[in-house]
Amino acid sequence: MACSICQNLEHDYQVCVREINSILQRRFRSGGEKLRELFRWQDRRDRAVQALYAHRKTHDISPQDRLKTA
């Protein structure tokens, strides 16, 4: 079972993916506007993935190693 932080970070990632899919389905006034929105959400998605993987690494650290870094 994932911890609550993992669940929140995964939720943030899923929101970004859904929004990217929505952008691809929608019409925009211009191609440039669509690309700006797409790039903005892709950047948010990338940050969400980075945060999720950085957090998951904390689960892999043994208790002894946590004491060394504290």
The angle formed by the CA atoms of residues 54, 37 and 25, to the nearest 5 degrees, is: 105
Q: How far apart are CA 1 and CA 23, in angstroms?
A: 32
Query: pLDDT tens digits for 12-52?
Result: 999 999 999 999 999 999 999 999 999 999 999 999 999 99
More confident residue, 17 or 68: 17
Q: Which of 5, 21, 19 is nearest to 59 (CA)?
A: 5
More confident residue, 45 or 56: 45
What is the reported pTM?
Answer: 0.77
Question: What are the distances in angstroms from CA 13 to CA 31, 47, 58?
Answer: 25, 9, 18
